[in-house]
A and B are shown apart, each in its own frame.
Chain A
Amino acid sequence: MAAGSAGSVPHGWKLGDKVSIRDGYGKGLLEVGRTHADVVALDADLAESTRSHWFAKEYPHRFYQMGISEQDMVVTAAGLAHMGKTPFASSFAIFLQRGWEQVRNCVARQKLNVKFCGSHGGLMTGQDGSSAHSLEDIGVFRTLPHMGVVAPCDAVEAASAVLAMYLRPGPAYMRSTRAAAPVLFDSDYEFQWGKGHVLQDGSDAAIIANGPQVQEALIAAKDLKAKGLSVRVIAMASVKPIDRTLIAKAGRETGYVVSAEDHFIHNGLGSAVAECLAGEGVAAKLWRVGVQDGFTQSGDPKDLYRHYGVDAQAIGQVVQGLRNNSLRAPLAPHDLPGYTPGSAPPA
């Protein structure tokens, strides 16, 4: 095992298999529970949905069903961590935010070893609609000192990231999703904090993506290749810490950077990429693909991805538009002329 890497989890998934990212969390938790007796898990009445119920079944004396009480789950996990346990606390990404101030003041401020998993992140949650579409979780967790933040693109990466969360001292947050997604990484893949991966090289533009948008980016890059464009695709699960070297290199070498994520355009991966390019003094054009500044609606994830402009087609159009200078900022509704609060976002 390489220094600083976490190791892989035995799971039996092969490239191209369709596996939900949450299954990766469940398998990873099971493995880290098997190898480390200090690991405990908590859930807030969604254990089957988050996949923490696999751990619960195997290690019932180390699992706490907290009921529909996310704030209590967060502070209880903090107390367990204070006494030397390593708690993994999971719920839907949107509901974990109910306990955000507890995460801030009780967990992060004390640099306690509490690991969070917010499942059912983003538009991918689909039909449940706007109240369930967590589109700000990466941002609110990323802003906290000591907090590591990871948004894996497949089950293999998610499983390995659970081990990495365990090994990194202090709090961490993982976002997982429900829908089945193709396995993109080999079974021996090892997630590392602050390390992105070039899945496909290219010189005309770079797409930096995480979560389901990595698969969308790969499709976009394939389509663009047919149009004569060579596009680099970088999987960047580790949002904090982020791979500054790889991002700066992509900006310098291609001159055009597109970030893509199932998240509001504010404060997520795209913002982290922007901070990185600006901080490294890289003169590259950047466009952030994500949900614009407005709330969403129910629907099939595919339709939502299309409507809110975060699918392969939208990413491809952005890459082309960025290169031929036809994109016109700002896109955010509140920046548009004549925008009044409460009006519908532009289609």
Chain B
Amino acid sequence: MAERRVWLAAALALLCAAAFLGLNLRGNIAFVLELRALKLLALVQVAVAVAVATVLLQTITGNRILTPSIMGLDALYLLGQTALVFLLGGIGFAAVDPRLKFVIALAAMVGLAAAVFLPLVRARHSLTVLLLTGALLGILFRSLSSLLARLIDPNDFAVLQGVSYANFNAPQGELLAIGAVLTAVAAAVAWRQRHVLDVMALGPAGAISLGVDWRWSVAGVLLLVVLLVAVSTALVGPVAFLGLLVVALAERLTGTRRHAVLLPAAACIAVTVLAGGQAVLQHGLGGASTLGVVVEFLGGLVFLLLLATGNRR
């Protein structure tokens, strides 16, 4: 049954993607289609990256209300970008190849994640400790970013703004290729390891007892999460609750946490939300709002709902 629900989610995702591409086609159709196809590619990447990253993080931390951004992972990416603007200046920053900037920010993220988050996740502290530490680290990274942002001149600041807000309308086109490769590789690795991930969801004792090398596996999964968060943040900026929203919906739809079902279902629902939401906002509501705001609002509601219904684990 759960498998059939995945196909349902996939069909919905395809429908929304088609709507995004095909609604209100006017003027030079080839040109519009190309533009939209590139945007859709970015949205699909972000959707898959956020969905998979959230599932993986929830699995290794053993609770279902965490998302990478509650843990401050995307703030880490932004800190890297801000530091680059600070060091190079706005003009210098704009002149650097975005791919190079991405790689630098990614390297900083991997380093910091290894230093800060790995010990936290390995020790598997209680949910409260994890949440508090993650939230504090997020605040620390964001404060550092805004401190640096205050130190730069207004022109540089304008450059920085471009990268620090979620924007589904104008994804960073230069990063599409590298993002597609990274997302595909990370998603494929997660899929191949789906049975191991199922076992890891039992917690360290259960997983070790079943022969999983917990320390290395956690490090590997965390690396995947960092890669995926970097991709999505680089493409459209930080999205706090999207992951939580789609994983909670996927779990509700399929009624299981088996990764063979949950991973594709969450990814398909994320595509549905992003492509469908964008299509509705653009064509139905005439661009009245930005998708980022709507997704954050809904995701925030789901977060509160999960807390209120006591579904914390």
Indicate, yes or no, whether A interacts with B.
Answer: no
